[in-house]
Amino acid sequence: MIRFWFRGLMRDKSRFLFPFTVVAVGVALVVALVGFMEGVFMGMIDMTSNLDSGHLRLVNKAFYDEEHLRPLDRALANQRETHDWLVKHSSMEVDWAPRIRWGAILDVPDEQGETRSQTPVVGIGLDLKSPDSKEIERLRLKSSLIKGNLPKGFNEMLMGIQLAEVLDVSVGQSVTLLGQSFDGGMVADNYQVAGLVRFGVSARDKKMVLIDLADAQNTFYMEDMVTDWLGYFPPSTDFDRYEEVKHSMSASLPDWTPPKDWAKDDFPIVLSIRDQQNIGAIMDKFVVIKGFVVGIFTFLMVLVLWNAGILSGIHRYGEMGLRLAFGEPHWKLIMTLALEGLWIGILGSVAGSLLGGGFAWYLQEVGLNMGDNFAQSGLMINDVVRARVTVGGFVQGIVPGIFASVAGTLVASLAIFQRSEANLFRELEAG
Amino acid sequence: MSETLITLERVCKVYQVGEENFTALNDVSLEVGKGAFMSFVGPSGSGKTTLLNLIGGLDRPTTGNVLFQGANLENMSRDQLATYRRENIGFIFQTYNLLPVYSVYENILFPLILNGLKESHVRKRVEEMVAKVGLMDQINKKPAQLSGGQSQRVAIARALVKDPLLILADEPTANLDSENSRQILELMWELNREYKAAVIFSTHDEKVTRYIRREVRLEDGRVSWDKRRNGTEAEP
């Protein structure tokens, strides 16, 4: 029987094409929009976590409390022991990366060795030279390199492209870092610019330099010390997993026998990305906004499909009457209408997913360059905004699409319940 | 005397129209035998359609009983009445009421599909009905491509295809010209003889009365005349 009615459905353009188009367009918009929102949001999260926060972070509380001052004297010593503890008490899936966050004045000398230009910079010391380090890949440094090479030799640095332009520095040039060492003394160390990179975030491109971790330890007199340990989960790990591992590690911290070179008041804490830079609140708001967007689209689809169902009901008034007169029970009639709604919902959702997913995929692969808009902003947003195609995005489009189609049809078919058989002869004679 | 198919016992049907009560049927008692070929005749508002409604299980009497082969329709639920119609009654309407997106073949198939039969099992039966009403060359056409007479033939085949015990035909010739009316009535007469399904017309059409074997005239909701003609089958 279902095949018989579906045959009619597919032939009757007025009752198929309109709801199909509504569902397809609605689902396409939701899938594309969710993909775009996820992409922008996850791009921000990735950018923040890759450079700054990690998914998890172990840091001395004293450093964290004053991190804007980059208090290197509150770094954590004993790298190996700390790494061993992290591996043992976190999870096999987490990759731990040591970092040194520092701040200094970057001085560019002229041919006579006098200052030609100078600016404060923020820097990160990270493992750029070990063969098993994932930092280059994590920060996409190879693809971000505009000129020159990645650091290979002693005291080489990568510089943000806009910073290099401001300072009028080119690859191969020597620059001097003027800062404060671990023990509070003054530091002046020469570096050679190995490469210029575009981080893809204007704020970084203007102010950031990267040096190898060992060079940073040498420059700032921080042998075997780091300011941060950043932990990275594999891509697409659920945020809840971050919290789970963080809580498990935090529970283990009191039992940790401090390594021998730690200061008495060193007190490490474990943070997830949610705990840093107000990201947790932003994440929660994002989920609410996303739910809102999906909800609004679903509601609008239900409204339109409800009306489409009513129009279809008028269009098929005779058919419904005939089916009731011929002995099709009301519930069965409504069930076949619901199945029609389901069928239209599925077909429309598939078409909409292909359309919206295709658009989101294009934005994921090619991206949308919004560098000009972000140039004046300090936001950690990629200049090239990319969507992200996820299974969740499809689910958030398809489920409301199917629901809207079935719900719209059912709401519209309520009139069938109220239709009295006693009037069928007159109604059918009226044509 | 043929076996009784339908029995109406002192049936009254009262409708409320605004604050007034309108008596559509008043104390009607009738019996209709199997294989009957009869008509309800009368002016508009005489109760013909109400009577068809009650016999077809589309409405319930205010008082009195409608029995189908001894079973009281009053005791049936809405779903049971739907089953009763689906299994026993064929309908023919003045305006044909064919499903526009389906072909001639599919329109005739439709009642069998409602009865849960598979198309592959009943294809022959449907084709046989199409042939009976002389539309084999139109079998794949849509209703919009048919004339009025052809459309009514499809409606007749659709009513007969499930082999019902009773066909209710409400003004089946009202939209047809004389020639087509004559052909339709002859076809129904032949099919009545062949398939033995009782046929009850509701009609104004004088031409119909030439073919039927029993004429029940209604006036103001009452049976004013129940005339039986000599035929091969005696009416109760």
Instruction: Choose the closest CB to B102 out of A8, A327, A424.
Output: A8
pLDDT in tens, B160-193: 999 899 999 988 888 888 888 888 888 888 888 8
Under the banding of pLDDT at 50, 70 and 90, the label for residue A429 is low
Percent of chain A with pLDDT over 90: 46
Task: With CB atoms and an 8 Å threshold, state whether B82 touches A328.
Answer: yes
Structure tokens at A275: 């705990």
Q: Which of B109, B111, B101 is nearest to B127 (CA)?
A: B109
Task: With CB atoms and an 8 Å threshold, state whether A4 touches B119.
Answer: yes
Q: Could you report how far apart the first and last alpha carbons of chain A are, in Å?
A: 25
Structure tokens at A261: 């070179």
Task: With CB atoms and an 8 Å threshold, state whether A11 touches B101.
Answer: yes
Is residue B152 within 8 A of residue B92, CB to CB? The reply is: yes
Helix, strand, coil shares, percent, chain B, to 5: 40, 30, 35
Find chain A residues with C-beta within 8 A of B95's C-beta. Answer: 428-431
* pLDDT the model gives residue A176: 95
Q: How far apart are CA A376 and CA A202, in angstroms?
A: 7
If you ran DSSP here, which 8-state letter would residue A94 be given? P
pLDDT in tens, A146-198: 999 999 999 999 999 999 999 999 999 999 999 999 988 999 999 999 999 98
What are the residues facing A58 on neighbouring strands? A229, A270
Residue A166 buriedness (CB in 10 A; 0-12 / 13-18 / 19+): middle
Hey, of A421, A424, A426, which one would you mutate to test binding to chain B, going by the most B CBs within 10 A of its CB? A421
Instruction: Choose the closest CB to A8 out of B49, B97, B99.
Output: B99
For B37-52+78-227, the fitting CATH number among 3.20.20.70, 1.10.10.60, 2.60.260.40, 3.40.50.300 is 3.40.50.300
Q: How far apart are CA A155 and CA A196, in angstroms?
A: 15
Helix, strand, coil shares, percent, chain A, to 5: 55, 20, 25
Is residue A44 within 8 A of residue A380, CB to CB? The reply is: yes
Which ipTM score applies to this complex? 0.87
Percent of chain B with pLDDT over 90: 58
pLDDT in tens, A307-360: 777 777 777 777 888 888 899 988 888 888 888 889 989 999 999 999 999 999
Is residue B195 within 8 A of residue B228, CB to CB? The reply is: no
Find chain A residues with C-beta within 8 A of B52's C-beta. Answer: 425
The arithmetic mean of pLDDT across residues A274-298, rounded, is: 86
pLDDT at residue A135 is higher than 90: yes
Give Cα B230 distance to the centre of its chain.
22
| Residue environment code for A210-229, b if the CB has 16+ CB neighbours within 10 A, otherwise e | bbbbbbbbbbbebeebbbbb
Q: Which residues of chain B have pLDDT under 50?
A: 1, 231-236
Find chain A residues with C-beta within 8 A of B94's C-beta. Answer: 429
Is residue A321 within 8 A of residue A365, CB to CB? The reply is: no
pLDDT in tens, A221-268: 999 999 999 999 987 677 889 999 999 999 999 998 888 888 888 899
Hey, of B114, B152, B165, which one would you mutate to test binding to chain A, going by the most A CBs within 10 A of its CB? B114
Is residue A64 within 8 A of residue A269, CB to CB? The reply is: yes
Residue with tokens 């508002």: B45
Task: With CB atoms and an 8 Å threshold, state whether A426 touches B49.
Answer: yes
Is residue A384 classed as helix, strand or coil in its secondary structure? strand
The arithmetic mean of pLDDT across residues A209-216, rounded, is: 96
* pLDDT the model gives residue A391: 86
Is residue B149 within 8 A of residue A40, CB to CB? The reply is: no
Q: Within 13 Å and on the Cβ side, how many CA atoms surround B113?
A: 22
* pLDDT the model gives residue B233: 39
Is residue A312 within 8 A of residue A15, CB to CB? The reply is: yes
* pLDDT the model gives residue B175: 81
Is residue A357 within 8 A of residue A35, CB to CB? The reply is: yes
Find chain A residues with C-beta within 8 A of B171's C-beta. Answer: 429
Q: Which of A242, A177, A166 is nearest to A210 (CA)?
A: A177
More confident of the two residues B234 and A214: A214
Q: Which amino acid type is present at position A388?
A: R
* pLDDT the model gives residue A371: 62
Q: Within 13 Å and on the Cβ side, how many CA atoms surround A33?
A: 18
Find chain B residues with C-beta within 8 A of A6's C-beta. Answer: none
Task: With CB atoms and an 8 Å threshold, state whether A329 touches B110.
Answer: no
More confident of the two residues A306 and B171: B171
Is residue A154 within 8 A of residue A128, CB to CB? The reply is: no
Hey, of A15, A326, A417, which one would you mutate to test binding to chain B, going by the most B CBs within 10 A of its CB? A326
* pLDDT the model gives residue B1: 47
Q: How far apart are CA B107 and CA B127, in angstroms?
A: 12
Does A417 lie at the interface with B, CB-CB under 8 angstroms? no
Q: Within 13 Å and on the Cβ side, how many CA atoms surround A316?
A: 27
Q: Which of B236, B204, B184 is nearest to B40 (CA)?
A: B204
If you ran DSSP here, which 8-state letter would residue B3 be given? P
Q: How far apart are CA A76 and CA B215, in angstroms?
A: 109
Q: How far apart are CA B201 and CA B181, in angstroms?
A: 13
Structure tokens at A55: 């998914």
Domain ranges of chain A: 2-47+281-429, 56-232
Segment (H or E) for B32: strand B20-33
Is residue A327 within 8 A of residue A427, CB to CB? The reply is: no
> Comparing A17-21, A188-192, A365-369, which segment has the lowest mean pLDDT?
A365-369
Find chain A residues with C-beta within 8 A of B173's C-beta. Answer: none
pLDDT at residue A377 is higher than 60: no
Locate all alpha helices (DSSP H) within B98-177, ordered by sequence: 104-114, 119-132, 148-160
Strands B214-219, B37-41: pairing kind: parallel
Instruction: Choose the closest CB to B58 out of A12, A425, A429.
Output: A425
Find chain A residues with C-beta within 8 A of B49's C-beta. Answer: 425-426
Task: With CB atoms and an 8 Å threshold, state whether A421 touches B119.
Answer: no
Task: With CB atoms and an 8 Å threshold, state whether B83 touches A327.
Answer: yes
Task: List phi, psi (to 5°) of A180.
Answer: -120, 135
Under the banding of pLDDT at 50, 70 and 90, the label for residue A375 is low
Find chain A residues with C-beta within 8 A of B116's C-beta. Answer: 1
Find chain B residues with C-beta within 8 A of A335's C-beta. Answer: none
* Angle at A13 (CA atoms; ends A7, A14), nearest 5 degrees: 120
* pLDDT the model gives residue A428: 66
Closest CA–CA distance from residue A347 to any residue of chain B (Å):
20
Structure tokens at B111: 């009642």
Structure tokens at A47: 């950018």
* pLDDT the model gives residue A287: 87
* pLDDT the model gives residue B217: 92
CB contacts < 8 A, A to B, total 79
Q: Within 13 Å and on the Cβ side, how many CA atoms surround A183?
A: 4
Percent of chain A with pLDDT over 70: 94
Structure tokens at B155: 């409606």
B11: left (phi over 0), alpha (psi -120 to 50) or beta: beta
Report in angstroms the alpha-carbon separations of A327 from A83, A282, B116.
Answer: 76, 58, 12
Report in angstroms the alpha-carbon separations of A204 from A274, A282, A424, B69.
Answer: 21, 21, 75, 91
More confident of the two residues A373 and A76: A76
Task: With CB atoms and an 8 Å threshold, state whether B95 touches A430.
Answer: yes
What are the residues facing A60 on neighbouring strands? A268
pLDDT at residue A111 is higher than 90: no
Hey, of A2, A13, A330, A429, which one would you mutate to test binding to chain B, going by the most B CBs within 10 A of its CB? A429
Q: How far apart are CA B199 and CA B189, in angstroms?
A: 9
Does A326 lie at the interface with B, CB-CB under 8 angstroms? yes
Task: With CB atoms and an 8 Å threshold, state whether A328 touches B114.
Answer: yes
pLDDT in tens, A81-107: 999 999 999 999 999 999 999 999 999
